[in-house]
Amino acid sequence: MRALVNPTFVMRWSTRAVPWLGGLTLLLVAAGLYLALIASPPDYQQGDSVRIMYVHVPAAWMALFCYTCMAAASAAGLVWRSPIADLAAQATAPVGAAFTFIALVTGSLWGKPMWGTWWVWDARLTSVLILQFLYFGFIALSHAFDDPARGQRAAAVLALVGFVNVPIIKFSVDWWSTLHQPASVVRLDGPSIHPSMLAPLLVMAIAFTCYYVWLLLVRLQSEILNGKIRALRLRQAHG
């Protein structure tokens, strides 16, 4: 545990992993986009509009996954006062916010031709919009204090409080009547999506996950280096 949160250790193995993760991400995105946009069949009801789903659904999953990671890292930062955990939460927030934004925009683009509206205030859409604001709030709050440690602590509390929204988003379509359709993949009686469409969806989901881990490591590295530079400058100023 000690070793895992040691900045030097993190630097060493992430430097080795970053190029591989970057290459893997590129490969998977290329394969996923080919499968999703060209090789997979159109839907029997939606026609080619179904292809929006291959970006929308993985982005929405990542929005929830990133938030969960951010909340977990925030909890670790609060409890164990681990600087690496705080940095990981800080590094995750903009990535999760971007995935949420992509999910909202692609969902809206799909909603207009399929539902007949860009936006409705149903439980699923509204709770995802709240998730977007939680991400923005986290980013704003962590920069709101002169002392970065105080800002990070305040933001970490917000991340934990906002975590109640994650299960609400997931189960909103089961608990309340919504315009948004219920889950097609993660459900008790197996996926209700044809294997020829499930495969590209899963490839895209793995690609997005690799992309997140890759970005997280790159951002962690630069934050660790930033911290070292700050420490050196401080020492120079005092020396």
When asked if residue 72 is in the footprint of other proteins (CB under 8 A), the reply is no
Nearest to 224 by CA among 12, 58, 76: 12
Looking at 35-82, list the stretches that DSSP marks H as alpha helix, in order from N- to C-terminal side: 53-80
Nearest to 174 by CA among 164, 161, 186: 186
- Counting every residue written for the chain, the total comes to 239
When asked if residue 139 is in the footprint of other proteins (CB under 8 A), the reply is no
The single residue among 4, 30, 79, 140 that binds other proteins, judged by CB under 8 A, is 79
When asked if residue 179 is in the footprint of other proteins (CB under 8 A), the reply is yes
Nearest to 154 by CA among 237, 77, 40: 77
Of 115 and 136, CB closest to other proteins: 115
Of 12 and 112, CB closest to other proteins: 112
At 151, give phi and psi (nearest 5°). -60, -40
* Cβ within 8 Å of residue 60, ≥6 positions away: 99, 100, 103, 107, 128
At 81, give phi and psi (nearest 5°). 50, 45
Tell me how far apart the alpha carbons of residues 62 and 97 are, in angstroms, rounded to a whole number: 10
The single residue among 161, 229, 232, 234 that binds other proteins, judged by CB under 8 A, is 161
Tell me how far apart the alpha carbons of residues 136 and 130 are, in angstroms, rounded to a whole number: 10
When asked if residue 94 is in the footprint of other proteins (CB under 8 A), the reply is no
When asked if residue 176 is in the footprint of other proteins (CB under 8 A), the reply is yes
Which x/- pattern, by CB under 8 A, does the window 26-65 give for other proteins?
---------------xxxxxx---x--x------------
| The one segment of 5-13, 23-31, 78-86, 96-104 that binds other proteins by CB under 8 A | 78-86
When asked if residue 80 is in the footprint of other proteins (CB under 8 A), the reply is yes
Q: Tell which positions 180-209 bind other proteins, by CB under 8 A.
A: 181-184, 187, 192-194, 196-197
Binding region for other proteins (CB under 8 A): 41-46, 50, 53, 75, 78-80, 113-117, 120-123, 160-161, 163-164, 168, 175-179, 181-184, 187, 192-194, 196-197
